Each structure stands twice: as structure tokens, then as C-alpha cells.
Amino acid sequence: MTTLWRDEAQSDASARGPDAKGGLPRGTLTIWLLAALALIYLIAPLVELLLAEPWSQVPAALADPQAIDATRVSALAATISTVLVALFGIPLAYALARWRFPLRPIVTALIFTPLVFPAVVSGIVQLLLYGPYGPIGAAFATRGVELTDSLAGVVLAQTFVAAPFAVVAARSAFEAVNPLTESVAQTLGASRWRVFWTISLPQAWSGVVAGLALTWLRAFGEFGATAVMAYHPYTLPVYIYVQLTGLGTPAALPLALVALTACALVITAVLLLTRRSRLPGGLP
Amino acid sequence: MSEVNDPEALAGLRADFTLRRGVFRLRAELSAPPGLTALLGPSGAGKSLTLQVIAGLASIERGTITLNDRTLADASAGIALPPQLRRVGYVPQSYALFPHMTVAANIAYGAPTRLDRHARDKRVATLLDLVHLPGYETRSPHNLSGGEAQRVALARALAAEPDALLLDEPFSALDALTRNAVRTDLRDIALASGLPTLLVTHDLSEALALASRLVLVARGRIQAHGTVADVTERPDTMLAARLLGWGGVIAVTQWAREREGVSVTLACGQTLRLPDGACAQTAKATKATNAWLALRLERLIVSTNADAEPANALRVLRGVVRSVTQAGPFWNAQVALDGAAPTDAALDLPFSAREWPTMGLTPGVSVTLAIPEDAARLVAADTEVEEAAQ
């Protein structure tokens, strides 16, 4: 890296004038400063959280059965959501990346709908559909299945809001796969199914996993849509909000730490998964 | 194959089809018996698309494709085998190695599933030996040179035990030194496989160096096909002549059949007499004004002594050296024919550095060009032939 800067500085020295001699070129310095400020802005709240954390109260807060339940609900629902997104979203992403069909640009734009909606609005539109008086919710309700204020409701809300992350990331990853590798695999005797599993997916793997990880994290942290669709059972974000409004920040801070730890664990797992993954015929 | 009386009748690849891609129309009619057949033509001629069609990666509108005794596609019967059932080895221009697999896994990908792991490993090793890359099993495609990647791609295609090989511009991604080194290798491997091999190239010298048969394709249609000698020595159209290295193409104002051969009058006013065999059927079928004279410039016998009567006075053109140029070991003299308009293109005669000093060619010097029998051909203008084919 340093070599790069020096080369640039040398080749541009005459154009920059005598004042640029010696230190870093002015442009590089500006970029560094702006990047550093952005980084500080992003990290500052985390640092403040760790500093303000009432560490002595953390064990007690973690033992709170309601907190444990809320964490379990969030993690379970986020995992189910992610599995659903993987099951249906990855084929959708592949179709959008590879197939040419009418209205493809419109379908692509529609994927972003949940990102465009404010989270609360996402909750409201789903309530209209899945609520006890909505067309789908009523059908389930007559069979004794509640789609709101239940784990199913949490999953529905999370999936809707979080799915675009996986679909968009996976679509880009599939688009980056050289289509000729798929064609050649076919001429070597592989069925379309085998080509997908052994050629397309492995090459798109890290993008797909990154997308699913974002989906899980977004689902785990989902608040707006969940609060509208399924206030109960409490998810961790909803429970944090309840504690915050009822008892103030000291009660909410230990829970925030729990949420952060869970996210950090998932990110670590994903990093390991994409780096060390061994796929069929994979390279070491 | 020995039971068959005439193996040529059944063996090999036959394609006769048309297709449309937007405004581009492709009509191909070709056959590739065992051995190397070059599909030669300029960029955008439809060469690569022809390979994709045969491999089953693009569909046809009309026609049939057969390989040995199997029908790969028959538009009228609604048959179109998917690529995985065609048993056609396809090596694209960029090789398209699977980047997430080792060299061994790349090659083993298409190996028959009946082989167990041990047999597969053995087959991979055998193929790596064949392409002169022993011990490359655990390498990553990212760490291969262009020539190595090409040979791995070839081994991968052969591992699937195909009935035919399709090679798309196999040398275009290689530098000149590597290209010469792998050319012979590739030819030997393809010939040893005994498979009908169709090799796409835009380079005439490459086609001549490798193939025994030639299919000339341009503007979405086959212009000529047959053995290399047949195709290169007897072009039918102006376009074919140009693509096959006939350097000079001169406008003809009229021609007439005589007792011994054909008398041709050029636009510049000079006349010459050609043997009957030097007159393409297509030219005979067309109007005189739509015929052109194609010359193999490197075969012309050049002399500066304008007064001396050359050995064959019937086939002589006279002109003046307009300019001379040098490019590396080659010299060229641009000769304007006597009577030609100043705007007419000069004949660009090539000379080796060895013969050049003895020629005495400088601008302004008058020359006579004696034309051997195999160096001139009367061909038809392209539009005429294409209209007749519609």
C-alpha cells in the first residue's frame, strides 16, 4: 500500500507543485480523514455502550426469564425466517440472475418493496392480510391457527422485512458466475439440477451466505413490523423497548449487550463458514 | 467401425440448420468426419454460434444435426437433445474452467459415473499425462498459465468420452510463443482421439496448419467447405477469395469463352486468357460485369524487364511500382496496373527479405506480372451468389 502511494506521489509530483513534496498527496489525506470520521461515527455508540454498561447488573439481567424467552423467540424466529428465505429466495435470486422473462425488471424492482416500506407500514400491510379479519388470516383462524400475536406472526413479519437482503445479495452473486461454466458443465453430462448444486451455487456461495447472514441479523433485530404483527410473544427488540419505556436505560442496557453478542456470534460463524467451506471438489 | 463398409458415410458430425438471433440469421451446412475440420471466418460470421448450436446450447429453427448414427436435433421432428445427452465435448474460447475446483476435480467432473473413485483418479492422471501436465491434480485453475488452462479444458472435455470435439478459438487467449508450442500438441491430441473435431478460428494460417478440412463461414452462411486444398485453391466468390488469402481482386468488364479457355478483359483495359478450370461455376452463371479476377499475389512471377516477352504471354499483366514498404522480414511492392484509374487499389505484391535485393523494385519501375495457371481465378461478386441462394 505504501508503495502505491509513493509511486502516485512521485508521478504526480510535478503536477501538484512543490508544496506536495514530502508528505502524503493531498487527495489521499482527505480520503483518509473522511474515512476515519465515518468509522468513528459508526463505532462511537458501541464504545459508549460498553463504557456505560452497568456490568454488575448484567448477570441478574441475563437470568431474567423474560429476557431469556425473548432472546429464544427472536433467535428461533430469525432462524426459521432465514431457512424460509433460503428455500424460496435463492431460487428466486437464481431465476432473476439467469432467466430472461417478461416483466423481469418489474419483478426485480418489486423485491425491494419491503426495503422501501417503513417497518411499521410493513407490519400494517401484513396485518391486513394475515390478521384475524384478513383473507389469509381468517382462513387460518377458522382452523385454530393464529397468524398474529404468535411465533408464526413473528416469523411472517421478520421474513417479509428481511428477505430482500438475501435475494439481492444472492442475485448479484449468481450474476457474477460465468454462465459458460454452467454451459460447459452441461455438455459434460450434468443435468440442470446437478449444474446448480455443483457449479452455480458453490461459485455464488460466499455471496449467498452473506445475504442469508444479513437476513438473519435483520430478522433478529426486527422491531417495527414485529411490534405491529406480533407484540406477543416478546422478541428481544420488543422486550428491550418494553424495558426501556417502563424502567429506563439501565434496564435496557444489559439486554442490548445480549443482542450485540448474538449478532457478533452469527457474524463470526458466517466468516468461518465462507472462509473454510469445503464444497464438492472444492479447493482447500 | 470396421464393420461399416464406408465409414465416411456414417461417421462424423453433420449439421444443416438455420436459426435467427434478432436480426442475425445463420444458415450452416457442414460435415466434420473424424479428424480436424477448421471453421474459418471473420468475427461475427456465426462461427461460435454454430458450435453452441451443435453443443445444444442454442436452439435451431429448421434443419437437423446428426453425430455418427445419432440425431442430436431435428427441428421438423421436434427433437432437440439437451446438452448433457449429446456427448459433444465443448471447449469455449475462455476455457471456462470451474474456478472453485482443483484441476483434478475439473477433469473428473465429466468422467462417466460408472467409474469408482480409484478409476476416476487413474483416468484423471492418464489425461493429465496426455496433455503434458502430469502432477497438476491439486492445482487451482487460478494458478495456471493460458496454455495450461487450455490443456486442462481439453482434458476435461475428453474425460467425458465425447463423440465429437468442439474447440472455439483455442489459441486466441495465448501469446504468440505459447500458441506455436501448443498448436502441434492440440492437433496431435485431437487426431489421436479419433474424434470429429471442429475448430473455430479467424486465422487462415492457423486453419491451414491444423486442419485437413475447411469450412469457410461469413455473413451467417457457409461460403465453401471441403478439403483444405479444394477450398483454398478454388474459391467461388470474391469474399471467399479474400478470406482465403487471394490478395488481389480486380474488376472485370467482360469475359468470353473461347476455344481454349476464357478471355477476360479487366476494368483497366488489359486482357488475359485463363484456362477453363480457372473459371468458378458461380462466375459462369453470373453476368459478365459481376465477375471478378482473383489473384494469388505471392505466386506471380515478377520481372522488371518490360520489353522481354515472358514465357506465357497469354497471362501477363503490366504495371508500374507505385511504392514499396517493409514490415519485419517482408517487403511489399504496390503495383498499379497500366490503364488503371489512380483511385484503383494497387496490387500489394509480397517478397521475402532474401529475394527482395535481387528484384530491383523502386517506385516508378515498370514491371510485368506473369500469372501461373494456379494463381488466377474468375469469381462471382458476392451479392449475385447470395441472391441466387435465397
From B287's Cα to the closest Cα of chain A, the distance in A is 47
Is A28 within 8 Å of A36 (Cβ atoms)? Answer: no
pLDDT at A276: 54
Cα–Cα separations (whole angstroms), residue A13 to A4, A21, A29, A32, A268: 14, 7, 15, 19, 44
Is B292 within 8 Å of B381 (Cβ atoms)? Answer: yes
Interchain pair A188, B98: CB under 8 A: no
Contact with chain A for residue B56, Cβ under 8 A: yes
Is A110 within 8 Å of A184 (Cβ atoms)? Answer: no
From chain B, the residues in CB contact with A279 under 8 A are 100
Among candidates A180, A190, A283 on the partner chain, residue whose Cβ is nearest the Cβ of B96:
A180
Count of alpha carbons within 13 angstroms of residue B11, beta-carbon side: 15
Residue B139's closest chain A neighbor by CA? A283
Interchain pair A203, B97: CB under 8 A: no
Is B239 within 8 Å of B218 (Cβ atoms)? Answer: yes
pLDDT at A58: 82
Cα–Cα separations (whole angstroms), residue A264 to A215, A260, A269, B114, B320: 14, 6, 9, 46, 84
- Estimate to the nearest angstrom the gap between the alpha carbon of B216 and the chain centroid: 5
Cell for A45?
455508540
pLDDT at A20: 46
Interchain pair B101, A180: CB under 8 A: no
Cell for A151?
411465533
Q: Tens of pLDDT along B324-378?
A: 999 888 999 999 999 888 888 889 999 998 989 988 899 999 999 989 888 999 8
Cα–Cα separations (whole angstroms), residue B366 to A99, B311, B318, B321, B371: 65, 18, 8, 6, 16
pLDDT at B21: 86
From chain A, the residues in CB contact with B159 under 8 A are 188
Polymer length in residues for chain B: 390
Query: Is residue B156 very low, low, confident or very high in pLDDT (cuts 50, 70, 90)?
Result: very high
Among candidates A184, A198, A284 on the partner chain, residue whose Cβ is nearest the Cβ of B96:
A184
b vs e for B99-137, b when ≥16 Cβ sit within 10 Å of the residue's Cβ?
bbbbbbbbbbbbbeeeeeeeebeebbbebbebbebeebb
Do the strands B164-168 and B196-201 form a parallel or antiparallel pair, or are they unpaired? parallel
Contact with chain A for residue B65, Cβ under 8 A: no
Residue B111's closest chain A neighbor by CA? A188
pLDDT at B308 over 70: no
pLDDT at B387: 52
The list of chain A residues with pLDDT below 50 reads 1-20, 278-284
From B124's Cα to the closest Cα of chain A, the distance in A is 13
CA distance B294 to B161: 44
- Estimate to the nearest angstrom the gap between the alpha carbon of A32 and the chain centroid: 28
Phi, psi angle pair for A56, to nearest 5°: -65, -25
- Estimate to the nearest angstrom the gap between the alpha carbon of B244 and the chain centroid: 8
End-to-end Cα separation, chain A, in angstroms: 28
pLDDT at B9: 54
CA distance B76 to B84: 22
Percent of chain B clearing pLDDT 70 (strictly above): 92
Interchain pair B99, A191: CB under 8 A: no
Handedness of CA A231, A234, A238, A244 (dihedral sign): positive
Give the pLDDT mean for B57-82: 94
Count of alpha carbons within 13 angstroms of residue A148, beta-carbon side: 21
SS3 B56: coil
pLDDT at A150: 92
CA distance A125 to A137: 12
Contact with chain A for residue B143, Cβ under 8 A: no
Strand partners, B250: B293
Residue ranges in chain B assigned as alpha helix (H): 7-10, 47-55, 103-108, 117-130, 146-159, 176-193, 204-210, 228-233, 238-243, 281-285, 356-359, 382-389
CA distance B95 to B61: 28
pLDDT at A79: 95
To the nearest whole number, what is the mean pLDDT of chain B?
87
Interchain pair B108, A199: CB under 8 A: no
pLDDT greater at residue A8 or residue B136: B136
Do the strands B88-91 and B164-168 form a parallel or antiparallel pair, or are they unpaired? parallel
Residue ranges in chain A assigned as alpha helix (H): 2-16, 26-52, 58-63, 65-84, 90-98, 104-110, 113-116, 119-130, 135-142, 151-175, 179-187, 192-195, 201-220, 224-229, 236-247, 249-276
